[in-house]
Amino acid sequence: MQKLNLFQLNADRVPDLKEMFAADFTPASAEERVSATESRKSVSYWRDALRRFKQNKVSMGALALFFIIFLFSFLGPMLIPYNYADQYRCSMKLAPGEFSKAEMTAKAALEHADLIYDTVLSPGSISSLSRNTTYWFRHKGVTYSFYNEKTLGDVIVLFRAEDADPLVYISEKDAENGVFDNITVIAYSTENIDTRAENTARLPLIKSVCPHVFGTDSAGRDLMARCMYGGRVSLSIGIIAALIVLFIGSLYGSVAGLIGGKVDFIMMRVVDIIYSVPDVLIVLLLQVVLKDPLQAWLDSSPSGFARMMSNLGVGIVSIFITFACLYWVGMSRIVRGQVLQLKSQEFVTAATALGVPRSRIVKRHLLPNSVGQLVIATCLQIPSAIFLESFLSFLGLGVSIPMTSLGSLCSDALETITLYPYRLLYPGIILTLLVLTLNLVGDGIRDALDPRLK
Amino acid sequence: MKNNEKLLEVRDLRVSFFTHAGEVKAVDGISYDLGEHEVMGIVGESGSGKSVEAYSIIGLLQNPGRVIGGSVKFMGEDVLAYSEEQKREFRGNKVSMIFQNPMTCLNPVYTIGNQLMEALLCHNKDVTRKAAYDRAVEMLELVGINNARKRMRQYPHEFSGGMRQRAMIAMALICSPKLLIADEPTTALDVTIQAQILELMKDIQRKTGMSIIFITHNLGVVAEICDRVSVMYAGHIVEQGNVNDIFYRPKHPYTEGLLRSMPRVDTKERERLIPIEGTPVDLLNPPKGCPFAPRCEKCLRVCLEHKPPFLQVGEDAHGSACWLHVKEMKEAGE
Amino acid sequence: MLSYVAKRIGVSILTLLLIICITFLLMNAVPGSPFMTEKSTPEMIAMAEAKYGLDKPLIVQLWNYIKGYFQGDMGVSLKMQKGTDVTTIIFREGKFVLSFKLGVWAVLLAVIVGVPLGCIAAYNRGSWIDSVLRVMTTVGVAIPSFVLCSLLLIYCGVKWELLPVISGSLTDWKAYIAPVIGLSFYPMCYIAKLTRTSMLDAINQDYIRTARAKGLKTGHIIFKHALRNCLIPVITYLGPMTAGIITGGFVVEQTFQIPGLGKYFISSILNRDYPIIMGTTVVLAALVIMMNLIVDITYKLVDPRISLIKGDS
């Protein structure tokens, strides 16, 4: 019997001969062999990228923060009673959370009533009840209305549902001094009236005085409402500008890349020239130059499109035009680079060799593989658009009054910065966070689609 | 029988990569000896672990890879236990390595001469620049590059592929190492250049007497240059022996399959190639028993359950890890 | 190499000409004359225009402009400093020098601080130093420059009184600190990020593996092999960075009330003083173009693969 020699190197692992001989030496069948190997589930490229993105805690956090800011800007106005343009004469230059004298008075008055209407607290220059007007309001399904003969200024209307005389008013002065029993009764009726008739107005009673969380500016406008509005403007401009760049850039770049040859050469020379022009200088010039003629054109043109544009304001439209003229070049280079790279890949050659028509190659092979780069580029274009817009607004060349953006809010705050630093801090921080979160999300998408061992 | 001192002793080396997806057992217990003046070929498919084990010997293994077991003794000293500084001293000096793709392996912004000299100057503090320059020229001539002095001032992109690999070899040899590890040095080159480089390496090995570990997936190359061969599959050495035994008397089904699948000059026309069926192993989830079992046509039930022992199967240090040998023993004994 | 340089210089001059033309066309696209005020009659306007040569056909005006520019004559201010030479306003009243000094300091600070920070982060990848630096630089590139400058103004300048902020004409060296920091912060953070990424890229290259296999010291590998290759993207960034510093300068000068070229430029835009707008645009554009040219040439010097193309691509 031939000696069973364990190879000398592994001499320390002396096997049990008996055990070895007792093994099952019958041949294994093909099925047994196959079942011995579990194959891993194959994961699609996109699902894999999504998984990687979800694992990236920083990007997920940034995405969540971005949504918070987004909701703040777009849904926030529904939560606070203040408007970005309303000027509250009585509440000027308030610090965050601070209440003005008039507001304190109103709060005191609320302790003596269910609902109040304080003429001093109303926005704008009208701080009185107009004469010859029927005021109405609804409470628990009942419409209360009363006719006001004379102009009634500096009063607080109190509504106590359970009282014999539920609707009364007191003078502002009395309320300031803490005197709440010098009341004048208002004759009211609960009949149904036509609320849309002339000389009727709704009486906006309030249940509580909402604090100005961010304070107010010198004209008495609530800063939080303005920040929300500014956020909306900045975000919208950023997103639309990025989409414009995406559209023009990818069209141009893919045409250049697909056609190739002389056409590509000429198109890319044009891109090079535009690229070498210092953009911000031209942007500034364009802003100046476009403002007046654009305004003239918008005023004179009757089309609906022009109407919409003029609502946006000349500043914004000219920002869009400058973007459309200058900023698509970066995107077109990226797209062209992608197209060229993909065109030379073997799967495209294989598809062409199989006789697949060009449009199908574009649709099924080139587009899906480019989407990743396009998403990243667009996502990173939004913050740079927001940056540019706020830069222009800061210098006074961006959005025009009455519209405001985060950049112009910062610019306005600069004058009184030593006294009221919070006026700069709030829009400035929101702006920074907006840009930061978008940058992080863009980076996260890039890492998810093209992972390198970090 | 050569009286070889053991230059390199690898015992039960285990290397794993700890990735997000789990532990990848790249090398799962391999052992071999290498004597002085010997050329050992390590053969295997991609993913068999052949490069990884070479990197662990020379200390180039990086995160997330780690040596998790075994020992590597070079001239009696345990290299795995070296400090960083000791490893650095050891690399390039006692053991050198050359790699697969010579274009990317040379720094494009420095001249060839600069890169040649720096290895020497780094390891030998008392060498003058002039002496280093002369030695570098000497090395370039040794590897067959003409006009060596002119070439010293040129940049990598001015060399052709074959010349770059020669320059890499010169760089590796400049400190006269005892061991050269060559990781697929000819794979990226044209066939004719391949032959030249192999000739060069054989020549140098004869002249300088250093040992070489030659990693490749190409059996033809192995036949040219190697004295001994280790066949690796999925992180294990499945067969080991001297080159004639491996080629003419293979004992492991995998080795047999490899040899059979090579296209040969003397086959009749229209004979089909005979591949090895199946797909390579998923190292995240390796099979319980013999790693080759699912693809082996001679697979036994025990192969799926238990790892086979590594047994001597002939004379002259020829070993193979297969349950078939145990079965033969048993049947011979009955 | 020489032909490459000549080609690049030619392209730069062409671009400058293009800018002059574009600016000129834009200025003339605005309807209305710069001389129009409420009280002016058409005859007065026509006389004023004739005096300044604005009644000649556009092409002639353009040609005169270009000729003038290359001779150093940039026309005369029409609104802000009536009658004074634009060249004098820009160069001899100290405006350009002021802005230039500010810009140069900012560039130096950005590079001298940014590159080492990036290297440190890359070298210590994964450690807390790396994390801190990454957070700092990521937030740093998100802060708009005007926010940063305003913050510097309030907090460092007024509240904590660390730095003098009525910077005026920057006579005192201390007055430079706040505006230079405000101006260089964004490029500094960007360069740090860029250096870190390209250093990490360089470290993962095969030739670094070869260098390690040769047994070279780690410090030696980083400074000799990795650094030079990683600086290439940073050098490329210097071009766009110049443009950024110029535009950032507008904000800084506005915030800190520094009477430099940027602040003047903004006023001229708001005041529609066309010769000054044009002159300043051309000067600033020339700066950027020159910088791009220098960068392109340096780039070829640093990376020998490209400068020594002799029929080998």
pLDDT tens string A183-219? 888 888 887 777 777 888 888 888 888 888 888 888 8
pLDDT at C260 over 60: yes
- Gap from C200 CA to chain B (nearest CA, Å): 14
Map chain A to HEC letters.
CCCCCECHHHCCCCCCHHHHHCCCCCECCHHHHHHHCCCCCCCCHHHHHHHHHHHCHHHHHHHHHHHHHHHHHHHHHHCCCCCCCCCCHHHCCCCCCCCCHHHHHHHHHHCCCCEEEEHHHCCCCCCEECCCEEEEEEECCEEEEEEECCCEECEEEEECCCCCCCEEEEEHHHHHCCCCCCCEECCCECCCCCCCCCCEEECCCECCCCCCCCCECCCCCEHHHHHHHHHHHHHHHHHHHHHHHHHHHHHHHHHHHHHCHHHHHHHHHHHHHHHHCCHHHHHHHHHHHHHHHHHHHHHHCCCHHHHHHHHHCHHHHHHHHHHHHHHHHHHHHHHHHHHHHHHCCHHHHHHHHCCCCHHHHHHHHHHHHHHHHHHHHHHHHHHHHHHHHHHHHHCCCCCCCCCCCHHHHHHHHHHCCCCCCHHHHHHHHHHHHHHHHHHHHHHHHHHHHCCCCC
Do residue C142 and residue A435 have CB atoms under 8 angstroms apart? yes
Range in A70-84, B193-207, C269-283 with the lowest mean pLDDT? C269-283
- Gap from A399 CA to chain C (nearest CA, Å): 14
Residues of C with CB under 8 A from a CB of A: 11, 15, 18-19, 22-23, 26-27, 29-32, 138-139, 141-147, 150-151, 153-154, 158-159, 243, 246-247, 250-251, 254-255, 266, 269-270, 272, 277, 281, 284-285, 288-289, 292
pLDDT at C38 over 70: no
pLDDT at site A289: 74
Q: How confident is the model at residue A327 (pLDDT cuts 50, 70, 90)?
A: confident
pLDDT at site A163: 80
Q: How confident is the model at residue C214 (pLDDT cuts 50, 70, 90)?
A: confident
Nearest CA in chain B to C210: B105
pLDDT tens string A333-365? 888 888 888 877 888 888 888 888 877 777 777
pLDDT at site A454: 42
Do residue A7 and residue B293 have CB atoms under 8 angstroms apart? no
The ipTM assigned to this model is: 0.80
List of chain C residues whose C-beta atoms are within 8 Å of the C-beta of residue A416:
none
Q: How many residue contacts between A and C have a Cβ separation below 8 Å? A: 114
Do residue A34 and residue B311 have CB atoms under 8 angstroms apart? no
Range in A4-13, A200-209, C43-52, C158-167 with the lowest mean pLDDT? A4-13
Q: How confident is the model at residue A3 (pLDDT cuts 50, 70, 90)?
A: very low
Do residue B304 and residue A8 have CB atoms under 8 angstroms apart? no
